[in-house]
Amino acid sequence: MTDAIEDVESFRLRARTWIRANLRPLEPHETLAPTLALPVQTEEEELAALARERELQRMIFDAGLAGIGFPREYGGQGLTTDHQRAFNAEIVGYEYPARLQAPTFSPCGAVLLDFGTEEQKRRHIPAILKGEEIWMQLLSEPSGGSDVAAALTSAVRDGDDWILNGSKVWTTGASTADWGLCLARTNWDVPKHRGLTVFILPIHQPGIEVHRIEMLNGSTEFCQEFLTDVRVPDSDRIGDVDGGWTVGTRWMFHERMLFNSPFVSIPVGTSPGEVGAASIVNVARDTGRFDDRCVRDLLGEAHMLELVGQTLRRRIGRGVAAGRISEQSAAITRLFAGVSSARKATIAFEIAGPAGAAWTADDGAAASCGDDFLMRQTSCIGGGTTEMARNVISERVLGMPRERTPDRDRPFRDVPRSASNRA
């Protein structure tokens, strides 16, 4: 590189100046209550919120602040995780396009950057950074999400195209997204990891039926897709034919590294998809229990978990970036985030007292702690379960013996399946 990279402090100042002049400070009620991912909204509300986010993202792009870790030739800033961290500190307390961050910028954008052809990158990354394309991940299937490499969705070559058939599920925001990153099986006669290929495809097209799924708190952002003879040109293949697992491994790495990524903006002190410790303080205030020594103990614990989580992410992120520890170590931050978020949801629920069972708007931050408690385990399931993280840590990081895997050296078509998926 000929021109020197902007230093972090001058970038920070530039971001601060622009954010304060152009973005709306959040109202207290917008950051008030603990919330897990997937808010309960009507479809119109959801679409309006997304339209606003696209608009915000375009403003950020025009200001030269979008895509901090993406290279300049694709519309990004070509900067580092430290710059992203500075931005994350400056964006605290301001409106920002929260939903575009994941999975659009990462893992989807990050995977395109790692494996996309020059043409694919030029076509999609600038569009992503301008807020024009919202992406989602077509990874999990009804037959299983943990064992991602056992995908049953098939892709069959037809001239210059591929024909996809199958079903994907638990996809967040599919009904409002534009493009999807999709893992499919292209070869059934080799062991499972060697017969996968990754494709990109527009979600809204005749062969794809998208159904919303209601979650137990009433949110309908979860979806299932049915793919019937969906035609994808070979130019929309990502990585090599049957090389999907190489792509998939990186894909999951980006997913586990979300909180420590140069691609994603997450205001400091918040953890999307988690109950934040700061909002638990509000629960204590609104229930008038701040002076209770037991409640203070719980608040201390929640804030402790948050600080430890932040410092752990930084340690692992730097260690991976510097090559001191393997990429598999990202599973450590994933496990900690899942378990500590579940604990924080319990703490919020505990402090809310009876308002956790029944509430009105007068209960302030204590309202909906009950709903959040019902949704508590999402933090240990979404993005790969905590059990999978424990397998990765023990087997890949600590080198302990692998679990028995009868599917390892067998052609995938001969591998035993769940009762509901047998042919």
Ligand X SMILES: Cc1cc2nc3c(=O)[nH]c(=O)nc-3n(C[C@H](O)[C@H](O)[C@H](O)COP(=O)(O)OP(=O)(O)OC[C@H]3O[C@@H](n4cnc5c(N)ncnc54)[C@H](O)[C@@H]3O)c2cc1C
Asked if 135 contacts 178 with a C-beta cutoff of 8 angstroms, the reply is yes
Q: Please check whether residue 171 is in contact with residue 222, taking contact to mean a CB–CB distance below 8 angstroms.
A: yes
Q: In the range 392-421, which residues lie near ligand X by CB under 6 A?
A: 403
Positions 387 through 406 that interact with other proteins (CB under 8 A): 387, 389-391, 393-395, 397-398, 400-401, 403
In whole angstroms, what is the distance from residue 132 CA to residue 126 CA? 9
Q: Answer yes or no whether residue 283 interacts with other proteins by CB under 8 A.
A: no
Q: Round to whole Å and give the CA distance between 416 and 412.
A: 9
Question: Is 240 within 8 Å of 114 (Cβ atoms)?
Answer: no
Residue 193 binding target from ligand X, other proteins, none, CB below 5 to 8 Å by type: none
Interface characters, 24-53, with ligand X (x: CB under 6 A): -------------x----------------
Q: Which residues pair with 201 in a beta bridge?
A: 180
Q: Is 331 in the site for ligand X (CB under 6 A)?
A: no
Report the DSSP pairing between strands 196-202 and 179-185. antiparallel
CA of 313: how far to CAs of 40, 71, 112, 175, 249, in Å? 29, 24, 24, 32, 19
Count of residues of this chain found to bind ligand X when the rule CB under 6 A is applied: 20
The site map against other proteins for 323-362 (x = CB under 8 A) is: -xx---x--x--xx--------------------------
CB-wise, 15 or 299, nearer to other proteins? 299
Strands 179-185, 135-138: pairing kind = parallel
Residue 294: in which H helix or E strand, if any?
A: helix 293-321
Q: Total number of residues binding other proteins (CB under 8 A)? A: 48
411 binds, among ligand X, other proteins, none (CB under 5 to 8 A by kind): none
Q: Which residue is nearest to ligand X (CB)?
A: 145
Displacement of CA 275 from its chain's centroid (Å): 16
What residue ranges in 112-178 does DSSP mark as E strands? Answer: 135-138, 154-158, 161-172
Interacting residue with ligand X among 39, 71, 93, 144 (CB under 6 A)? 144
195: its two tokens: 């017969």
Considering only residues 354 to 393 of the shown chain, the ones binding ligand X according to CB under 6 A are 378, 381-382, 384-385, 387-388, 391
304 binds, among other proteins, ligand X, none (CB under 5 to 8 A by kind): other proteins
**Residue 171 partner contact from ligand X, other proteins, none using kind-dependent CB cut-offs of 5 to 8 Å:** ligand X
Query: Shortest Cβ distance from residue 97 to other proteins (Å)?
Result: 21
CA separation, residue 13 to residues 9, 60, 83 (Å): 6, 15, 11
Q: Which of ligand X, other proteins, none does residue 257 bind (CB under 5 to 8 Å by kind)?
A: none
Residue 303 CB, shortest distance to other proteins, in Å, is: 5
Q: Is 316 in the site for other proteins (CB under 8 A)?
A: yes
Packing angle, helices 244-256 and 330-352, rounded to 10 = 40
- Is 214 in contact with 74 (CB distance < 8 Å)? no
Nearest CA to 177 out of 142, 210, 206 is that of 210
SS3 388: helix
* Subset of residues 140 to 169 that bind other proteins, contact rule: CB under 8 A: none
30-59: which residues touch other proteins (CB under 8 A)?
A: 31-32
Query: Which residues form the interface with other proteins (CB under 8 A)?
Result: 28, 31-32, 269, 278-279, 281-282, 285, 290, 293, 296-297, 299-301, 303-305, 307-309, 311-312, 314-316, 318-319, 322, 324-325, 329, 332, 335-336, 387, 389-391, 393-395, 397-398, 400-401, 403
